[in-house]
Amino acid sequence: MAAPEMAAARDDLAEVPEFRDPATGELRQETMIINMGPQHPSTHGVLRLVVELDGETVIRCSPVIGYLHTGIEKNCEYRTWTQGITYVTRADYLSPFFNELAYCLGVERLLGIEAPERARLIRVLVCELNRVASHLVWLATGGLELGAVSMALYGFREREIILDVFEAITGLRMNHAYIRIGGVLMDLPDEGPRKIRDLLRVIPRRIDEYETILDENPIWRERNEGIGVLSAEQALAFGVTGPLLRASGVAADLRKDMPYCGYETFEFDVPVRTEGDAYARYLIRIAEMRESLRIAEQAIDRLDGTPGPVMVDDPKVGWPPKLSVGPDGIGNDPAYLRHIMEESMEALIHHFKMVTQGAQVPAGEVFSAVESPRGELGYLLVSDGGNRPYRVKIRDPSFVNLQALPTAVEGYLIADLIAAIASFDPVMGGVDR
């Protein structure tokens, strides 16, 4: 249509009486409240956003959560301490090792024991590899949501390499229940160090590829720079931790501030930026992946020179079965089976009691926190002296970070809302537990 005809058409529209305010005669404008989710391709999991729009501008955004509430905390109160590991590992399902580590560190503090040196190194190793895997999923899904579809395939391709290593070590790709009270479940397999070293050779080159694709990409920069900005005061007020806080200029990382599990003996940097936007968070996560690989390399080198047990020696605490990954999955060590079935009745009774009832944990309360890929992951563990937790409270970083979402997106466009959520990297399993 030519321009004068279009203008005439618009005037016709303006003549429709419903579109005019009866009092003032002005064209009426209203905001629109739309509902995004819980089933939506562009929100990380089952997050529901009630968004009030003025045209395409977000005036208000209200997250509604709870669509993945699983009752993990209540369920832990009815299971033994060791069974609790299998529950908490599924809370924040993209960083299972961190959940297990924080939980086990808390229980070990209640018990007053410490895992052996080799177990601590293995814990650091798998946690840092998990951090890389989690950031890869963020990169994959974030790229997919913003339209960089090839990033989704690349991210999951690299993640398969890491999951292959996890499967060789723990027997499972996800939700491992590998870090146990007093150590880890079993030692690295024979081909473990070689696989990890291969991984450490391959993945940094791939991260270089991602930087080549995305860093100076004009579309990526336009969609991420200046989006979802959180200032340092806002971030601290909302309790935000992790890459979001470091992107806003506050250099806070639990691995450096309150080290656990031997992190003070490793050399690594913590990337910090000041812009506080989605692009800064992207740069920080890429840098964190490199630092994690650096830590993993140091860990695997030190593991070569640190033989020893991977489970604490205390018979009242240590998980008795000696397991190993066999051709058809995880199985009991044949020598151990022979010992309990044929040689020693006491060993059999002890095995039975430890497996069915678990350790008795002295009464008390601890708060143990680790630096997960999303921020401060804390566990408040309350024990009443029995073999079951009295209260397990999961302080999940995504739950707290999502509180800051409305502040970060109000005033921006809907497309920026998607980019902002992607940069927040919420995992709804942790948010809703």
Partner 1 sequence: MPVERLEGVRTGRTPEEIEEEIQRGVLTTTLDRAVGWARKQSMWPATFGLACCAIEMISTGAGQYDLARWGMELFRASPRQADLLIVSGRVSQKMAPALRRVYDQMPDPKWVISMGVCASAGGMFTNYAVVQGVDTIVPVDVYVPGCPPKPEMLMYGILKLQERVRTTEPFK
Partner 2 sequence: MNADELAARIREHAPDVLAARGEVTAIVERHDLIDTLEWLHDQPDLAFDLLSSITATHWPGADPAFWVDYELRSMSLRHRARVKVGLRGGDERTPSVVGLYPTANWHERETFDFYGIVFEGHPDLTRILLPDDWDGHPLRKDEPLGGVPTWFRGATMPPIDERGMA
Nearest CB to partner 1, comparing residues 240 and 427: 427
DSSP state of 26: P
Of 239, 249, 321, 331, which one interacts with partner 2 (CB under 8 A)? 239
Nearer to partner 2, 174 or 236 (CB): 236
Is 154:140 a contact under the CB 8 Å cutoff? yes
Residue 112 contact partner, candidates partner 2, partner 1, none, CB within 5 to 8 A by sort of partner:
partner 2
Strands 48-54 and 57-64: antiparallel
The binder of 231, among partner 1, partner 2, none, by C-beta within 5 to 8 A per type, is none
Count Cα neighbours of 193 within 13 Å in the Cβ-side half-sphere: 11
Q: Does 78 bind partner 2 (CB under 8 A)?
A: yes
Contact with partner 2 (CB under 8 A) among 54, 56, 209, 257:
257
Segments in 315-404 forming alpha helices (H): 334-338, 345-356, 397-403
**Site for partner 2 (CB under 8 A): which residue of 10, 69, 157, 201?**
69
Interface with partner 2 includes 109 (CB under 8 A)? yes
Considering the rule CB under 8 A, would residue 387 count as an interface residue with partner 2?
A: yes
- Could you say whether residue 382 binds partner 2 (CB under 8 A)? yes
Question: Which of partner 2, partner 1, none has residue 232 at its interface (CB below 5 to 8 Å by kind)?
Answer: none
Among residues 79, 197, 221, 322, which is the contact residue for partner 2, using CB under 8 A? 79
Cβ 38 to partner 1 shortest distance, Å = 5
Measured over the CA atoms of residue 211, residue 253, residue 123 and residue 171, the dihedral's sign is negative
Nearer to partner 2 by C-beta: 28 or 74?
Answer: 74
Is 87 or 166 the residue whose CB approaches partner 2 more closely? 87
Diameter of the chain by CA atoms? 98
**Residue 339 binding: pick among partner 1, partner 2, none (C-beta 5-8 Å cut-off by kind):** none
369 forms part of the interface with partner 2 (CB under 8 A): yes
- Which is closer to partner 1, CB of 38 or CB of 239? 38
Q: Which does 369 bind (CB under 5 to 8 A by kind): partner 1, partner 2, none?
A: partner 2
Sequence-ordered strand ranges (E) for 150-289: 179-180, 183-184
Q: Are 374 and 395 in contact (CB under 8 A)?
A: no
Query: Which bin fits 5, alpha (ψ -120 to 50), beta or left (φ > 0)?
Result: alpha
User: Which two tokens mark 24?
Assistant: 């003032």
Where along the sequence are the contacts to partner 1 (CB under 8 A)? 38-41, 45-46, 66-72, 74-75, 86-87, 90, 93-94, 137, 140-141, 152-153, 156-157, 159-160, 163, 173-175, 428-429, 432
- Rounded to whole angstroms, the Cα distance separating 272 from 276 reads 10
> Tokens for 341?
């079935």
Name residue, tokens 């020696």: 313
Closer to partner 1 by Cβ: residue 339 or 393: 393
**Which are the contacts of 303, defined by CB distance < 8 A and separation ≥ 6?**
118, 121, 122, 125, 188, 193
Element (H, E) at 394: strand 389-395
Sequential DSSP letters for 155-186: HHHHHHHHHHHHHHHHS-SS----EETTEESS
Amino acid at 304: D
50 interacts with partner 2 by CB under 8 A? no
Q: Which of 10, 74, 194, 201 binds partner 2 (CB under 8 A)?
A: 74
Selection from partner 2, partner 1, none that 152 binds (CB < 5 to 8 A by kind) is: partner 1
Cβ atoms of 33 and 50 within 8 Å: the answer is: yes
Nearest to 358 by CA among 90, 82, 108: 82
Examine residue 112 and tell whether it contacts partner 2 (CB under 8 A): yes
CB of 272 to partner 2, least distance (A): 13
- Partner from partner 1, partner 2, none binding residue 137, C-beta < 5-8 Å depending on class: partner 1
Beta-carbon-side half-sphere exposure of residue 277 (alpha carbons within 13 Å): 13
Q: Which does 380 bind (CB under 5 to 8 A by kind): partner 2, partner 1, none?
A: partner 2
Tokens of 314: 């205390």
Give, rounded to a whole angstrom, the gap between the first and last alpha carbons of the chain: 55
> Toward partner 2, which CB reaches closer, 109 or 197?
109
Residues making contact with partner 2 (CB under 8 A): 65-66, 69, 71, 73-75, 78-79, 109-110, 112, 236-239, 241, 250, 252, 257-258, 356-357, 364-367, 369, 376, 378, 380, 382, 387, 390-391, 393, 395, 399-400, 402-403, 432-433
